[in-house]
Amino acid sequence: MSVKQVSQNAEVDERLAALVTNANAIRAIASAVEGTLGPKGLDTMLVDKFGEVVITNDGVTILNLMEVNHPAARMLINTARAQQEAIGDGTTTTTVLAGALVGTGLDQVVKGVPVARVIEGIRAGVRRALNYFKEVAQPIEDLTDPLLRQVALVAGREHQDIADLVVEAARLTGRDKLHDPFFKLADTISAQVGADNQVFRGTIINKERMNRDMPREVLNAPVLVIDDALEPEAMEDEALGTETGFQRYLELREQFRANVNKIIEMGVKLVLVDRGVDDEAEEMLTDAGVMVLHRVAHKELVRAAEHTGARALKRTGLRRDAVELSRYLGRAAEVYADEKLEHVRILDGEGRPMATILVGAATEEVVGERERIAKDAAASVQAAVCGGIVPGGGSVELAASREVERVRGEVRGMAAYGVECVVSALQRPFSHIVANAGFNPLEKLGDVLATQNERQGTTSLGVDCDTGEVVDMYQLGVIDPALVKIHALKAAAEVAEAILRIDTIIKKKENGSQPRAGMEPLEL
């Protein structure tokens, strides 16, 4: 190699140093989760400095728990978390697609393709792929559709008991509630050691009765929800030191007792309180046979109010007369405390229909993983109801890659190399699924593409991970929500474009720090 060539290569390496560093970080994160893809995907063990172990197949759990310092890697992990927040599943797919887009994008830039042209091609290819996903998505018209159970089974990693629980919960919840953007079916899942798997119409409050002398069960119960403390109105310490202030304190105590008596006289049988409860109020309510739960988590408080039809109020709202206060009450057919599982169940409320999925296992480690599996299944079922379904197993991505290839003739010049990045990325999930099943991904990719050519118009061809044969994923029952695919590709494309556009990495100075003696700050 000539001196001139060595010099040119050094200049290229220096020019691409930031991109190479970031791309390597992204690919390292992708490689950490790609082994979990598919029905034959393996588990990952995460160990902390104290020797605590988490064994999981869940992509977002791996990403959340792994130690990461590189800023580009953290960017990818944050993107995957956003996918989890939006859809509740597909974080591994997002990570793998992003890793492939960045890796192939770097390869094209090293060959001399301008970054701007690569990004232009990626945008064009992603647009076509997203439109294709929307076109082939099949809607779920009925919650009794057996395809919905297949969605739960695939997302639930073949756990039939969990799939059945999730589908039953979706049916109890109803289509309208599942379409509510502020409702997440995954939030209805509770996993506890020693519990029996079940679904019931109602919600759980993860608190025990405030006092063991309170009733363990109440029927046809009026419910009061206090988004505040059940205590007298607070006074400043300075005010209590005066005669007038002390008299005011006594008046507030007397008014508070009257308010608690009002609750008892109205026949309230369950009181849920956001914060603490005054000792005198506890004693009065216990004697009256009222069940009180205090310091209830806000999310659980809101769910209980929605399910029972109660309207939360502050402590000052207790001053209202009984007729007006009764409009704030909800009602539940049954409320009982499960002392073994240390929670209280509110069943068959008069408000919005609500289902709770209770998942159990023998140990903390196992119950944690079963909870993650159930949440994935629930998120996928809700996404399928909202956005339809597509064939899984990487098949719809392969079909989309063939559609994206047609974009090459529609873009200008070197942007075609960016389109190639999208084609390659869309083939990556299938390749990892097949490789994890023990087959040669190149061979099986060729088999599927050849079969697609023979069966024009078929969009659901993939590989049976048990036999290695090319099969129709719909017939095999391997089905995914379309929204998972759409959001995963969008998120992956966004992070890939952001990484490819970074040309320089500069360390920020610490806030308030001054340059050391003999050093001048860098002027940009």
Pair 240, 321 in one domain: yes
Which residues make beta-bridge pairs with 192? 360
Cβ-based neighbours of 496, under 8 Å, separated by 6 or more? 98, 101, 102, 105, 122
The number of domains in the chain is 2
DSSP 230-296: BSPPP--HHHHTSHHHHHHHHHHHHHHHHHHHHHHHTT--EEEESS-B-HHHHHHHHHTT-EEE-S-
Q: Is residue 321 within 8 Å of residue 215, measured between CB atoms? A: no
Pair 235, 310 in one domain: yes
DSSP 15-28: HTHHHHHHHHHHHH
Asked if the structure places residue 290 within a domain, the reply is: yes
- The string of pLDDT tens digits covering residues 333-380 is 999 998 888 899 999 999 888 888 888 877 776 787 788 888 889 999
DSSP three-state, residue 135: helix
Q: Is residue 332 within 8 Å of residue 223, measured between CB atoms? A: yes
CA 3 to the chain's CA centroid? 54
Pair 206, 128 in one domain: no
Neighbours of 78 (CB within 10 A): 12
Q: Can you give the length of the chain in residues?
A: 524
Asked if the structure places residue 402 within a domain, the reply is: yes
Asked if the structure places residue 411 within a domain, the reply is: yes
Pair 342, 403 in one domain: no
Pair 211, 291 in one domain: yes
Asked if the structure places residue 18 within a domain, the reply is: yes
d(CA 478, CA 35) in angstroms, rounded, equals: 19
- Residue 243's pLDDT is 65
- Residue 52 maps to which CATH number? 1.10.560.10
How big, in percent rounded to 5, are the helix, strand and coil portions of the chain?
55, 15, 30
Pair 235, 349 in one domain: yes
Pair 127, 268 in one domain: no
Pair 335, 425 in one domain: no
Angle CA 316–319–325, to nearest 5: 105
Asked if the structure places residue 265 within a domain, the reply is: yes
Pair 231, 286 in one domain: yes
pTM for the structure as a whole: 0.75
> How many angstroms separate the Cα of 401 from the Cα of each of 39, 106, 108, 405?
22, 20, 18, 6
Pair 487, 406 in one domain: yes
Asked if the structure places residue 371 within a domain, the reply is: no
- Residue 3's pLDDT is 33
- Residue 181's pLDDT is 84
Asked if the structure places residue 372 within a domain, the reply is: no
Q: Which tokens in the block code for residue 289?
A: 């046979």
Pair 329, 232 in one domain: yes
d(CA 350, CA 223) in angstroms, rounded, equals: 10
d(CA 481, CA 485) in angstroms, rounded, equals: 7
- Residue 44's pLDDT is 80
Q: Which tokens in the block code for residue 386?
A: 């909202």
Asked if the structure places residue 117 within a domain, the reply is: yes
* Range of the structural domain that residue 393 is part of: 12-138+389-501
d(CA 117, CA 418) in angstroms, rounded, equals: 7
Q: What is the pLDDT along the chain (524 residues), one digit of tens a residue?
A: 443 343 344 444 566 777 888 888 888 888 888 888 878 888 788 888 777 777 777 777 788 777 777 888 888 888 877 877 777 777 888 888 989 999 999 989 888 889 899 999 999 999 999 999 999 999 998 899 999 999 999 888 888 888 998 999 899 888 888 888 888 888 888 887 877 888 888 999 999 999 999 999 999 999 999 999 998 876 666 655 566 766 777 888 898 899 999 999 999 999 999 999 999 999 999 999 999 999 999 989 998 999 999 999 998 888 888 899 999 999 999 999 988 888 999 999 998 888 888 888 777 767 877 888 888 899 999 999 999 999 988 899 999 998 898 888 788 788 889 999 999 999 999 999 999 889 998 999 888 888 888 887 678 888 888 898 998 888 898 999 999 899 999 999 998 898 888 877 777 777 655 555 444 444 43
Neighbours of 175 (CB within 10 A): 14
3-state SS string for 438-505: CCCHHHHHHHHHHHHHHCCCCCCEEECCCCCCEEEHHHHCCEEEHHHHHHHHHHHHHHHHHHHHCCCC
- Residue 247 maps to which CATH number? 3.50.7.10
Pair 113, 20 in one domain: yes
